[in-house]
Amino acid sequence: MRTEEKGNLQTNTVLEKDQKNSGKLYKALSQIPERVLLVVLILTLLDMVLSVFTRYITGQAIYWAEEVGTFGLVWMTMIGTGIGVKRGIHFAMPTFVGRFSPGVRYAVSLANHVLIAAFGVLMILTGYNMTRESSNMFSPALEVNLGIINSAAIVCGVLIVIYEVGHALGTVRRGAVSSPEPH
C-alpha cells in the first residue's frame, strides 16, 4: 500500500469514528425532550392522583394541585408537539401528494419542511413575547412566575425548528422523494 493510500485510509477511519461519535451524541441529545416529557407526565399524574386522594379520602382539597396540573399539561403539550415533529406524526395527505410526479412530491416536501419550520419560528417569537409580557405576573396559588410557564412555547418552537431542519436536510440529501412522506 502506498503512503498516500494509507493516509487516506486512516483519515477515512477517523472520519467514520467522528461520525459515529457525533451520531451517539445526537441520539443522546435528541432523547432529552422525551425524558423531560416523561418526568413532567409522571409528576403531573402524581399531582392528580394526590389531588383526588386528598379530596375524596381526607375531604380536604390541595389548593395548588390544579395549577400544577395545568402547568404540567402546558409543558407536556409543547414538548410533545416538538417530539411529534421529530417523529413526523402530524397531519399529512400522502394519498393526495402520492398522485404527483416525484419532482412535484420533492418540491411539496421541501415546501412542507419550510412551512413547518416557519411555524416553529412563529412559536419562538410568540412565546418570547408572551414570556416577556408575563414575566412580572405570578400564579395565584404557587406564586410561580408565569413567564416560566409561557416559555414552554419557546421550547416548542426551538424543538420544531431543530427537528424540521433535520428532516429538510435529509430530504435534500436524498435529492428526491420516492414515496409520499408523512411530512
- Would you state the pLDDT for residue 180? 52
What's the CA gap between 126 and 81, in Å, rounded? 16
- Would you state the pLDDT for residue 97? 81
What's the CA gap between 160 and 153, in Å, rounded? 10
How many CB atoms within 10 Å of residue 125? Answer: 13
> Is 56 inside a domain boundary?
no
Assess whether pLDDT exceeds 50 at residue 66: yes
> Is 82 inside a domain boundary?
yes
> Is 103 inside a domain boundary?
yes
- Would you state the pLDDT for residue 175? 86
> Is 34 inside a domain boundary?
no
Assess whether pLDDT exceeds 90 at residue 19: no
Cell numbers for 66, please give them: 390544579
Per-residue burial over 99-122, b if 16 or more Cβ lie within 10 Å, else e, is eeeeeebbebbeebbeebbebbee
Taking a C-beta distance cutoff of 8 angstroms, is the pair 156, 182 a contact? no
> Is 58 inside a domain boundary?
no
- Would you state the pLDDT for residue 5? 47
Cell numbers for 165, please give them: 431542519
What's the CA gap between 24 and 29, in Å, rounded? 9
* Residue ranges making up the domain that contains 74: 66-174
Entry pTM: 0.81
DSSP string, 35-67: HHHHHHHHHHHHHHHHHHHIIIIIS---TTHHH
- Would you state the pLDDT for residue 23? 73
Assess whether pLDDT exceeds 90 at residue 147: yes
> Is 162 inside a domain boundary?
yes
What's the CA gap between 124 and 162, in Å, rounded? 12
User: Would you place residue 29 in the very low, low, confident or very high pLDDT band (cuts 50, 70, 90)?
Assistant: confident
Query: 3-state class of 145 per DSSP?
Result: strand
The count of structural domains within the chain is 1
